[in-house]
Structure 1
């Protein structure tokens, strides 16, 4: 009897150890269920709608919601997620470089236009010379802020690698803006401490800000910071990944985004 008990325990452990949705033998993901990581806010809301569309195609999508930008990638790399949907290409490139990973984009999703907000001023041109401007302290979203300011004509960046520029790459700053690097998730709580600050859309909406109505400067649609569905390299050609992308890029999801966010989140796959 003890021998039978040990055998049953071993079988149970084998089931538990198997990845969240993967077929251990083939390395492919489960074609019936995926665990998808998202950040709280618009990405969460949209993938909830994607899950409804996918369910009609026989695919169950379970969400895991994160409150920061690093864990959804590290958790995916560790095999505790099957995919995630929350990041743009420059951020993914930097993560892969920093962590020696090979996560890959498999389908465009949305553009969350980053905005610059202020509790003191209603227009960028009203900012005084020497104004203190907060920006995210992670490399890609910090450089994204600088990219927006350059595109609007407020600063000039060095020509090389503008998508990953830092405050040290500002070569012309005629208004003498002072740039303050802050934790992205905390910037909305610190708006009163600076003259203006850039905020990711997800954090802005969570704080009750409307990017279209409240931002004093909003990222344009020519931005390179389009978001993607991301998977491990070994799974990029799995049929279930194609099914996930198809559900996301469906007409139903497009209509939901347009009606729910009214221009503060933009379709990127068309």
Structure 2
């Protein structure tokens, strides 16, 4: 048995520990943390930051260069919400990771494009060319749909957004399709014949989707970029302020002016 004086000395520490285990820490009503990729998400968030600050809400923008940690950290409660992903990616992530993240609102579309340092037109792609696409299911399937649109491959199900390499029914040019992490695709552009790059990474690499893409999704793309959070986040007054700011006419004008068609408002 421990001495009484030792138990008395230990009591304050035990009390503090018990308090720390008694549920989630209440959120700071004056601060909202948002995980985002740099371009255009963090830039759009930075645009609305002064407006939110005037309403008494400080926006804590945390920039990531991958698509996994922003979801994991929101799911774990380390960050309030994120803004970087599409619904097909979110659905696949939840299914694969067992998370229960939910879409809150759509903000914009980033048309996926095919880029090359070696080719001037998509028709110039040679037989046996190497093509790089994102290595996760939603953007990989999206890239295959764009290759199909360009007439380079044929998929078994031409409308399946989660098609994989195994779903290619015809590949007449015998393209060598490599799956790589999405963030690395701009860096390997000089090493492959063609790379299919998400617009946020293309812009970050100083590529213009309107000018440089050999083929690109049109404005009817279903891949709207979302604000995402845990269940119930949509009722959080801080998140409501963010949604209202992001879907304002000012943001629509900013997106159209800043990105000149490389990013399209979805509202």
- TM-score normalized by structure 2? 0.88
| 1:112 shift after superposition | 1.3
| 1:95 shift after superposition | 0.7
| 1:148 shift after superposition | 1.3
How many residues are aligned here?
A: 261
| 1:178 shift after superposition | 2.0
| 1:242 shift after superposition | 1.9
Preserved CA contact (<8 Å) 1:135 1:199 = yes
Match of 2:50 in 1: 52
Gaps of 5+ in 2: 1-7
Does residue 254 of structure 2 align to residue 256 of structure 1? yes
SS in 2 for 1:120: coil
Distance 1:161 1:190, change over 3 A: same
Alignment of 1:64-75 (within 5 A): 64-75=62-73
Match of 2:103 in 1: 105
| 1:4 shift after superposition | 11
Match of 1:209 in 2: 207
Match of 1:35 in 2: 33
Match of 2:188 in 1: 190
In 1, Cα distance between the equivalents of 2:109 and 2:22?
36
Match among 111, 127, 132 for residue 125 of structure 2: 127
| 1:163 shift after superposition | 0.8
| 1:5 shift after superposition | 11
Tell which deviates more after alignment, 192-201 or 171-180. Answer: 171-180
Preserved CA contact (<8 Å) 1:53 1:252 = no
Match of 1:115 in 2: 113
Preserved CA contact (<8 Å) 2:74 2:229 = yes
Match among 232, 245, 249 for residue 230 of structure 2: 232
Match of 1:169 in 2: 167
Preserved CA contact (<8 Å) 1:143 1:163 = yes
In 1, Cα distance between the equivalents of 2:145 and 2:60?
35
| 1:7 shift after superposition | 5.1
SS in 2 for 1:163: coil
C-alpha RMSD of the superposition: 2.5
Match of 1:200 in 2: 198
Preserved CA contact (<8 Å) 2:145 2:158 = no
